[in-house]
Amino acid sequence: MKDISKVVLAYSGGLDTSVIAKWLEDTYHCEVVTFTADLGQGEEVEPARAKAEALGIREIYIEDLREEFVRDYVFPMFRANTIYEGEYLLGTSIARPLIAKRLVEIASETGADAISHGATGKGNDQVRFELGAYALKPGIQVIAPWREWDLNSREKLLAYCDRHGIAVERKKGKSPYSMDANLLHISYEGGILEDPWAEPEEDMWRWSVSPEAAPDTPSYLELTYRSGDIVAIDGNDMTPAEVLAYLNKVGGEHGVGRTDIVENRYVGMKARGCYETPGGTIMLKAHRAIESITLDREVAHLKDELMPRYAKLIYNGYWWSPERRMLQQMIDESQVNVSGRVRIKLYKGNITVVGRESEQSLFDESIATFEDDAGAYDQADAAGFIKLNALRLRIAAGKGRNLLD
Amino acid sequence: MKDISKVVLAYSGGLDTSVIAKWLEDTYHCEVVTFTADLGQGEEVEPARAKAEALGIREIYIEDLREEFVRDYVFPMFRANTIYEGEYLLGTSIARPLIAKRLVEIASETGADAISHGATGKGNDQVRFELGAYALKPGIQVIAPWREWDLNSREKLLAYCDRHGIAVERKKGKSPYSMDANLLHISYEGGILEDPWAEPEEDMWRWSVSPEAAPDTPSYLELTYRSGDIVAIDGNDMTPAEVLAYLNKVGGEHGVGRTDIVENRYVGMKARGCYETPGGTIMLKAHRAIESITLDREVAHLKDELMPRYAKLIYNGYWWSPERRMLQQMIDESQVNVSGRVRIKLYKGNITVVGRESEQSLFDESIATFEDDAGAYDQADAAGFIKLNALRLRIAAGKGRNLLD
Amino acid sequence: MKDISKVVLAYSGGLDTSVIAKWLEDTYHCEVVTFTADLGQGEEVEPARAKAEALGIREIYIEDLREEFVRDYVFPMFRANTIYEGEYLLGTSIARPLIAKRLVEIASETGADAISHGATGKGNDQVRFELGAYALKPGIQVIAPWREWDLNSREKLLAYCDRHGIAVERKKGKSPYSMDANLLHISYEGGILEDPWAEPEEDMWRWSVSPEAAPDTPSYLELTYRSGDIVAIDGNDMTPAEVLAYLNKVGGEHGVGRTDIVENRYVGMKARGCYETPGGTIMLKAHRAIESITLDREVAHLKDELMPRYAKLIYNGYWWSPERRMLQQMIDESQVNVSGRVRIKLYKGNITVVGRESEQSLFDESIATFEDDAGAYDQADAAGFIKLNALRLRIAAGKGRNLLD
Amino acid sequence: MKDISKVVLAYSGGLDTSVIAKWLEDTYHCEVVTFTADLGQGEEVEPARAKAEALGIREIYIEDLREEFVRDYVFPMFRANTIYEGEYLLGTSIARPLIAKRLVEIASETGADAISHGATGKGNDQVRFELGAYALKPGIQVIAPWREWDLNSREKLLAYCDRHGIAVERKKGKSPYSMDANLLHISYEGGILEDPWAEPEEDMWRWSVSPEAAPDTPSYLELTYRSGDIVAIDGNDMTPAEVLAYLNKVGGEHGVGRTDIVENRYVGMKARGCYETPGGTIMLKAHRAIESITLDREVAHLKDELMPRYAKLIYNGYWWSPERRMLQQMIDESQVNVSGRVRIKLYKGNITVVGRESEQSLFDESIATFEDDAGAYDQADAAGFIKLNALRLRIAAGKGRNLLD
């Protein structure tokens, strides 16, 4: 048993983390500091204060981190067109580093020697919280109750509450899914999703209407980019969190951004997850469009080749690592000229790019044109280009190498 | 001036290649062999025979290559989840290697010393034709009239026809776009698309209805995969070309598969292109789904990291190269267990995966479950896993390295 | 405590594994099967039989695996020019998969439910043994005594021997280093090497003379390659193990193959290691030379880019994984034409390639020559080649992008 | 024929570029500006002034660029441990971007509309000069006489000199090799080297003694690194060019840095080259050593995986490109903590690292030790680490996947 005097707990105010708060005190005889963050999950965070007080907590941190979250985590990630395994926009993964950072900062502020969280021993989140914490404060202790205790069912948790006088709201119609939400997405796991052949029921989805239920009339948006980030929509300047909230709203109304996948967890298993990421889905599409006219070809290709690795780092919990930082520096550098406007159309689940323009555009109509280019491009150059690119292939074929074997 | 006695021409029967046939005879005083292939472009190829005969051609090749095209080119490419610059499914690129191969094979059969094609000096297709030809028959000569002659406008071509008695169908309402089609896609370039801010008009699109015009009722399809390729739809066995034709039909009816992008050509310029790829868009989505339950995680990630490079090889014309072949061998090997079924829903432009199952599935419900797993997974293992993955980060932080600088 | 009835132990006959054999019986009350392999470590393996019998072992496996080791592990690895962190030839790493494979095969043959090994909890070898065992026989149990017991010093081990009547040869002048050897190399760790600033003493090295002590006269060798592997030296056909043994002998006499590095272990720490790899060092150099004339450029570059990842897989213990196998297939495919002869010179630590030739050579003197090439290469082609490769750069510069900022 | 009024010529003062100066005037009726740089090639550059004057040149640039060359080109490249195709240290490649930059800068200063160089149409240097020039000054014209004229032999050049009154020093014993030199290396091509089986004669080498002729006593050097670059040797502060010159001298005396390879040129052919790079060879070895204790593991591995691509960019002439710059930023960022000291021993061609130390060292003896570590590392953590890393492999094996097939 570790010797702990004070622990900072990532506290949601819900059943699980309320039990954890009590369990930590009882098990480690330590003081508990709660930390509750508003990352845009769509629920009030202020009620967590009363709940924490009811548990006898004396140091209570409640913080609105929405702007920091989008500005310093979501936007940098989207500069890389990041997507894990071709499908997942990393909505949960990208929120964990910020929470880890605040947990250890609060530990330093309050003199705590440990942090704790409510993530299970089977998932990625424990890894993301703990790698982040160790990387930022190497001497910190970590308590992961789900890996230690035997309260491994809802019934045992409720019994624990009864025994220890923890007030529980017994909601009717509790969702059968394990969910996580922040400004970037809401996720669903468990329940019938554990069968990869089962289609989720329509009433699982909370943030978006189905394409079927979306309006019959499209919406057009004009997104203004500056150095890779959206800074205005339809001409209105917005902060990062405002951008994402607005795109979530409009995207969700048009049925945009649902994903249903089986993904590979860092701990070694495959898991089914459903995600709603309306704003993020729009941002990925639009960012590729603004890059398509402003990025050099080889820079774009290098980014594409490194993206899966960057996505994997974030998914696996290595946001706070020198290798992620090294890649980030390269990505950010690539975005200096990624400025301009993208026009998109939203309609029943579809995002269509219908225009892109930029003062930094590298699209050169005078060269690309099918019409007379007035000598901007000498077609005869292509012959030599092809001949030398073919030389190694011709030499090999001439020496009997056969590609048709 | 090259000394040419016989040339095999990739001949469509249209204005441009008819002029080329005549021009080759006049310019090089050589015999012309025409080669016309049915790759599923949706137009009859047989009429090309009469047109070639009218031009005085004596050796006329007309071939149905649809099955070979899909089986040996399209399907292998889709095993890699191939997509160029995040958006383009390589519909034109993947057809060129097959044409290049037949051109040089016909050259060998007919004793021709050259091949010729109608691709311009600004595009990628000249590169793809010629690299392929040189790689397969290193001594072949290549004549690219668009890089040599001065008939660089439609008016000059028509005047040439008049002068040389070439019959031309002067269609009304000719499309203002440069188009290319085969079983995988149809593409549009030129015209108003040369302005990246301009939205294409609805009547440009030929293969698919718009999402707006698609039915209000979704269709569900069940795709059966064997070793990475679709072998049956809704329980009906199909050949590769049948699979793709069927998915094009159903996908097109549901408004699936339109793309509007600016891409980077190998010859160094950016170009706007619009594409309809209904079947290919479905195949990409569904293939990722069947891989999601049958591929090992690290194999999947390695494929994802190499895909952009593989896509670039095909885009740039290196299908017939040892490096593409080397990658293909790795990709094909990865597909041995990619068998099973994927259920998808098509609705107004959306493709939703709603189920996947496989006898080769690596999804292990007993481990992934949120319920009691009867000891299949020991949550305590996660602590050591995290501690050792964090060790290098903790050592660095302990020695004063600061990731928050 | 796991419930174990029979365990297969990787047994060297030395102090540590003798103690382990006894400790396993005492702790787990299980039967112990010993497995001792000759991988070319340079010590007799047969004496291990008497020692095992003295411990009361009834099932004793002693095997000469030298040919299998070099043919199926060392040679395939060298086809990739594999080197970890620019310096380490993976001599220890590559032996572990074979031992892991035999351990679980013997477990199957003898009905054992567990395997055990003498690797410590700080090193890479535990990972390599255990990942291999789990990958090949997923239900196997693994006992790693160094992670479980408290016999964590030589004194405690000797005391244990005394208490349990285990005979120990108390050699004088025992090396202060932790060593490992097989046909590919011998390694040294610990002792004064734990200070990265300390130069090892000359008498540490066992397989090679120092360059200072090597002969004043060079030796020349002609190595014959077939499909990437050496099959003859100086015209004499040799088996894989004979090749490596011979190169070790000649290389060691000429002071070739010493390395002194700090490397990054998979478990997260940096460690100092010294290695003697005479034959392997020669093979790396010579293999690159035969590839230099027989491999296509892009194939060679693709191999070079993937090599660090392949090396890392082997170092980290993932020989038995689908991703290593997938890479191997690609590497092996690349070697089909890597045949021919390389002539090298060994002199006082230096390996110099002085000639390479091949029937599969892609070196084309008629094109490469500085003399008149009779039109084999048209220098004018280079202008177009450069112009189109420069086009994207010129467009960007023309639009004001400045690379000198 | 291009319309040129003034051209800046990269002028060595030798036969070829003297002929070119005259030929440019005669052919293009333009003014010629000469530019001669001291990059440490070991020959006086000042005599080029008299020769240019004798040719009637009025604008003559002669510059000592040694410090700029090493500081801004050589050192940044070595931060990446750059090596092309496993063997070539890019001595010629890295000098070209600086010359290209000065050529176009001088063109701007003098109002010239073209540049010219003496590189042939078969080699890489034409590409490097011209890509650099186009990238930095997109409207520049380039004249490459070797691709245009018919003076394709030494005899024709000499005859041209006679006809035009160009004074030529007819040296006896002129080297049969084509050579290039700068502070980083000297290279040899052509002559008997065109046969890859032929060993070069000892008298070809100019900068280093053979290992046989090197002293019988080793030299030790202590190199001090700051942020990836050597700033002092044996405690004496030195400028970049002083560092390289000193290492060349000491390395050359000890027979260090000869290489004999067949390499793949960008223009598509294989070519034999011999190189002497004494200082560079030392720098590569020593830089890896300082990185081995100061770089994070994953940062080091990422660098290793990207290095071949970075090397290829430089080899192919893309120093002045956004993708090289993007990689450079990442590389430079990785070097912030690469400071400390490396001790090396030079002896008859061998470079041995015998010590490395750093205030930024991540080597943690307390953890790495074979002795009691007082709890710094919990060996039990390794069990969980291995179990979870093995999980995907065990699931696959449990479902019947067989890695031994």
Q: What is the pLDDT of residue A170?
A: 67
Asked if A321 lies within 8 A of D298 by C-beta distance, the reply is yes
Q: What is the mean pLDDT of residues D171-177?
A: 74
Tally Cβ neighbours within 10 Å of residue A298: 18
- Cβ contacts (< 8 Å) between A343 and chain B: which residues? 197, 199
Q: What is the pLDDT of residue C170?
A: 67
Q: What is the pLDDT of residue D366?
A: 84
Exposed e or buried b per residue across D280-314, where buried means at least 16 C-beta atoms within 10 angstroms of its C-beta: bbbbbbbbbbbbbbbbbbbbbbbbbbbbbbbbbbb
Token pair 């590497």 in the structure block, residue: C331
Of C90, C132, C137, nearest to C325 by C-alpha is C132
Tens of pLDDT, residue by residue over A94-140, are 999 999 999 999 999 999 999 999 999 999 999 999 999 999 999 99
Of D215, D185, D187, D213, nearest to D200 by C-alpha is D187
Q: What is the mean pLDDT of residues A348-377?
A: 88
Question: Which residues of C participate in the annotated binding site for L-aspartate?
Answer: 120, 124-125
* Measured distance CA(C135)–CA(C121) in Å, rounded: 20
* Measured distance CA(B341)–CA(B209) in Å, rounded: 27
Give the amino acid at A69: F
Residue A125 among the catalytic residues = yes
Residue A307 class from Cβ within 10 Å (0-12 exposed, 13-18 middle, 19+ buried)?
A: buried
* Measured distance CA(C134)–CA(C7) in Å, rounded: 15
Exposed e or buried b per residue across D343-381, where buried means at least 16 C-beta atoms within 10 angstroms of its C-beta: bbbbbbbbbbbbbbbbebbbbbbebbbbeebeeebebbb
Residues 6+ positions from A82 with CB-CB distance below 8 Å:
A89, A90, A307, A310, A311, A314
* Measured distance CA(B385)–CA(B367) in Å, rounded: 17
Question: What is the separation of C-alpha C196 from the centre of its chain, rounded to a whole number of angstroms?
Answer: 23
The side-by-side arrangement of strands in the sheet containing B6-10 is: B59-64, B31-38, B6-10, B114-116, B141-143
Tens of pLDDT, residue by residue over B174-210, are 778 999 999 999 999 999 999 999 999 999 999 999 9
What is residue A291's three-state secondary structure?
helix
Q: What are phi and psi of A174, to 5 degrees?
A: -60, 140
Q: For residue A388, give the chain D residue with the closest CA.
A: D267
Residues 6+ positions from A236 with CB-CB distance below 8 Å:
none
Hey, what are D179's tokens? 């050579």
Q: What is the pLDDT of residue B85?
A: 98
Q: Is C405 part of the contact surface with chain D (CB cutoff 8 Å)?
A: no
Residue C366 class from Cβ within 10 Å (0-12 exposed, 13-18 middle, 19+ buried)?
A: middle
Residue D125 among the catalytic residues = yes
Q: Is the pLDDT of residue C169 over 80?
A: no
Question: What is the separation of C-alpha C198 from the centre of its chain, rounded to a whole number of angstroms?
Answer: 25
* Measured distance CA(A141)–CA(A145) in Å, rounded: 13
Strand partners, A91: none
Query: Tell me, what's the ipTM?
Result: 0.96
- Cβ contacts (< 8 Å) between A321 and chain D: which residues? 296, 298
Tens of pLDDT, residue by residue over D274-291, are 999 999 999 999 999 999
* Measured distance CA(B256)–CA(C395) in Å, rounded: 35
Q: For residue B358, give the chain D residue with the closest CA.
A: D399
Of A252, A38, A281, A271, nearest to A177 by C-alpha is A271
Radius of gyration of chain A (CA): 25
Strand duo D186-189 + D178-181: pairing: antiparallel
End-to-end CA distance of chain A: 65
Of D32, D69, D85, D138, nearest to D279 by C-alpha is D69
Asked if A364 lies within 8 A of C395 by C-beta distance, the reply is yes
Q: Is the pLDDT of residue A171 over 70?
A: no
Task: List, by residue number, the catalytic residues of B.
Answer: 16, 96, 125, 178
Q: Are the C-beta atoms of residues D380 and D366 closer than 8 Å to each other?
A: no
How distant, in Å, are the alpha carbons of A41, A124, A205 from that of A177?
Answer: 16, 17, 11
Q: Are the C-beta atoms of residues A122 and B377 closer than 8 Å to each other?
A: yes
In eight-state DSSP terms, residue B199 is P
In B165-296, which residue ranges form alpha helices assigned H by DSSP? 240-253, 278-294
- Cβ contacts (< 8 Å) between C305 and chain D: which residues? 305, 308-309
Q: For residue A333, give the chain D residue with the closest CA.
A: D326
Q: What is the pLDDT of residue B173?
A: 63
Residue C227 among the catalytic residues = no
How distant, in Å, are the alpha carbons of A67, A169, A206, A244 from that of A37?
Answer: 12, 21, 21, 18
* Measured distance CA(D124)–CA(D129) in Å, rounded: 9
State chain A's mean pLDDT as an integer. 95
Q: Is the pLDDT of residue A1 over 70?
A: no
Q: Is the pLDDT of residue B263 over 80?
A: yes
Of B364, C167, A290, nearest to D394 by C-alpha is B364
Q: Is the pLDDT of residue D41 over 80?
A: yes
In angstroms, what separates the C-alpha of C97 from chain B's closest C-alpha? 19
State chain C's mean pLDDT as an integer. 95
* Measured distance CA(B186)–CA(A59) in Å, rounded: 64
B125 annotated to bind ligand: yes
Radius of gyration of chain B (CA): 25
Q: What are phi and psi of A129, to 5 degrees?
A: -60, -45
- Cβ contacts (< 8 Å) between C352 and chain D: which residues? 258, 260
Strand partners, A216: none
* Measured distance CA(A315)–CA(A128) in Å, rounded: 8
Hey, what are B168's tokens? 């031309």
Q: Is the pLDDT of residue C405 over 90?
A: no
Q: What is the pLDDT of residue D90?
A: 98
Q: What are phi and psi of D222, to 5 degrees?
A: -115, 120
Q: Is the pLDDT of residue B1 over 70?
A: no
Hey, what are A330's tokens? 């390269």
* Measured distance CA(D9)–CA(D17) in Å, rounded: 8
Tally Cβ neighbours within 10 Å of residue A329: 16
Q: Are the C-beta atoms of residues A264 and A85 closer than 8 Å to each other?
A: yes
Catalytic residue among D66, D96, D102, D258: D96
Q: Are the C-beta atoms of residues B95 and A354 closer than 8 Å to each other?
A: no
E strand or H helix at C28, and its extent?
helix C15-28
Of A278-287, A383-392, B155-164, the one with minimum mean pLDDT is: B155-164
* Residue predicted with more confidence, D376 or C334: C334
